[in-house]
Structure 1
Amino acid sequence: MYSQLWCRTGLLGLLWLISAGFMSAQTPARTELTVTAMHPAADSPLRLGANFSLRIHYDSPAAFRLRIQGERQGTTIPGITHASPRYGPGAGEAIAWLAFDHLAQLDRILLVAEDAATGHVLTSLALPLTLTWSADAPPGAPAPVWVQELNQHAQLAITREMQAPADGGDDFWVNLFLQAVFLTVPGYIILQIALPWWTRDRWRKAAWAPLIVTVPMFLFVVFASTAGGSNLAPIWLLLVCPPACFYLVFLALFFWLKQKRA
């Protein structure tokens, strides 16, 4: 009796350990951002056009890009920001900087790590800092070595990214395919306007058919981009515009052949 009890208890414990290990393996690691230095120091006045730079240690399971923005009382203040290369996966150092060419006062800096492939936000870091850019601010101290080094590394990484498609034949065809897919969006809009005007009778009704799907999708994209603030909403158009565009192309071709035979 006791042996059976111990056996069942051990089996349940083993199953619990296996399930716990499985769940922990399925839980993805979190992207971590840590600011290790800043230039100039917090609360320092900055001249117009001067950069406020952050030295960042990261540890991320996925490749990402950094975005920095300044805020005042919860409102984003548009400014001049750095172009971010791809960072990660893994651990390393990154730089992010922000500047203004007009009078600006900030009470918070927001760092956002966005997935390099999808643009989804992986993590964010808010820094409560008081920063002011003005024309009469005194000259700042020279930038430390880490600012120059990390800026150079970032620029080299961006240059390599820009040159990479030209070096690989496969990338050329991938880019060509993607450009063709993107062109189906304006192509569909042009065909959707032109075909109902050009065709007649049942052909015209067939030309109106894609609107059953595309109109709700366009309305959704407009709402998500404006009210929802989503920068990725237009991607949904790539799901409906390519098939709708090809449908109208074939419809126009068949109508033209019919007119030619008549």
Structure 2
Amino acid sequence: MCHEASTRRRSFALLRWILSLVLLAWLHEPALGAVQLHVIETDPPSPSSLGHWEEFHVHLGYETDQAIHIYVEAFHGHSRVSSFTSASPLYPAGRGEADVWVAHDKPAQVDRIVARADARNTRQAQIDIPVQLTWTGIRQTPPRQPAAWIERLRAENASRLNAELEAHRNRPEPWWENVLFFLMMWAGPVYVIMQIRLLRRYRDGWRYAALVPVIPMVGVLIYTVYAFQAGSNIFPLVLILTSPFALVYLLGLMTVHRVALRTSST
């Protein structure tokens, strides 16, 4: 029981941290600066054939005058290939190294890797890396041993992520963040109650208008259940981020409906 309570507290703290980062990205404009990326090496080298969940790592060097996150995407031709990718810690200003990776659990082909550096959710630099990669979808036995630089940078990234989370936990919390966090956490339940209420009260075109958020929110709910069953610690994140928009829509519809009723009665 103590272990489960500790896990829930850590998951809640992680979720709060992610939501705070999203709020800061919405409320603050980024300071633009000079950012450069370059490829040092890859593991395995290209061309390569990779197995089920096998990772293709790119060893990057960076130069930046501001803190950045570094992300990676995979492409085949002009189409983005849905991939599992590395999380990014916050890399400090200066020169350094980064490890980014992509992986697949099903057969896939990739001919281009795009690495980008973001500051406050705005792209600052991008580098295209031509590759010839094929994922077979078959588990490789025995698993290939990663290069030594991967283990080194993986440990550094984990240390950065933990330090970033710990610094966020220990910082003074502004009042507006607590208010917004509270409102976002309760937007989901309030939306559900209002959705049911309006569907019962409204008729004809007003009922159709009230149905607009239902389809996307059902999709979000299905995804949330799937993420929960998959064991994700942040499974309600998408639901929390989308519920306020659905709630604002219904509040706006309710306001328009009341104005229309008053106008028709005069």
Query: Which category of TM-score, normalised to the shorter sequence, fits these structures?
Result: 0.5 to 0.7
Identity %: 24
Equivalent position amino acid for 2:86 in 1: H
Check the 8 A contact 1:110/1:127 in 2, yes or no: yes
Trace 1:196-235 onto structure 2 (pairs within 5 A): none
Could you say what secondary structure the match of 2:173 adopts?
A: helix
CA distance in 2, matches of 1:63, 1:189: 39
Structure 1 position 32, deviation (Å): 0.9
2:116 aligns with 112
1:74 aligned onto 2:78: yes
Residue among 155, 166, 171 paired with 1:152: 155
* Distance in 2 (alpha carbons) for counterparts of 1:81 and 1:64: 17
1:132 equivalent to 2:134? Answer yes
Gap runs ≥5 in structure 2:
1-30, 214-237, 256-266
Q: Quick one: which of 178, 203, 206 aligns to 2:180?
A: 178
- 1:45/1:138 contact within 8 Å kept: no
CA distance in 1, matches of 2:38, 2:165: 28
How far off is 1:96 after superposition?
0.2
Asked whether the 8 Å contact 1:46–1:140 carries over to 2, the reply is no
Deviation of 1:30 after TM superposition, in Å, equals 2.5
**Mapped contact 2:111–2:130 kept (Cα < 8 A):** yes
Structure 1 residue ranges without an equivalent (≥5): 1-26, 199-207, 219-230, 249-262
Deviation of residue 83 (structure 1)? 1.1
3-state SS of paired residue (1:87): coil
Query: What value does the CA root-mean-square deviation take over the aligned residues?
Result: 4.2
Tell me what 2:35 maps to: 31
Distance (whole Å) between structure 1 residues aligned to residue 81 and residue 155 of structure 2 = 27
User: How far apart are residue 93 of structure 1 and its match?
Assistant: 1.1
SS of residue in 1 equivalent to 2:181: helix
Deviation at 1:66, TM superposition (A): 1.6
Q: Distance in 2 between matches of 1:158 and 1:140?
A: 27
1:92 maps to 96
For these two proteins, the number of residue pairs brought into alignment is: 193
> Which has the higher Rg, Structure 1 or Structure 2?
1
How big is the shift at 1:45?
1.8
Indicate conservation of the 8 Å contact 1:52/1:99, yes or no.
Answer: yes
1:48 aligns with 2:52: yes
Mapped partners of 2:56, 2:68: distance in 1: 21
CA distance in 1, matches of 2:148, 2:68: 25
Shift of 1:111: 0.9
More relative contact order, 1 or 2 (CA 8 Å, 6+ apart): 2
Question: Aligned partners of 1:64 and 1:38: how far apart in 2?
Answer: 21
User: Is the CA contact (8 Å cut-off) linking 1:47 and 1:139 kept in structure 2?
Assistant: no
Deviation sequence 1:3-34 (CA, Å, 0-9, x none): xxxxxxxxxxxxxxxxxxxxxxxx95321111
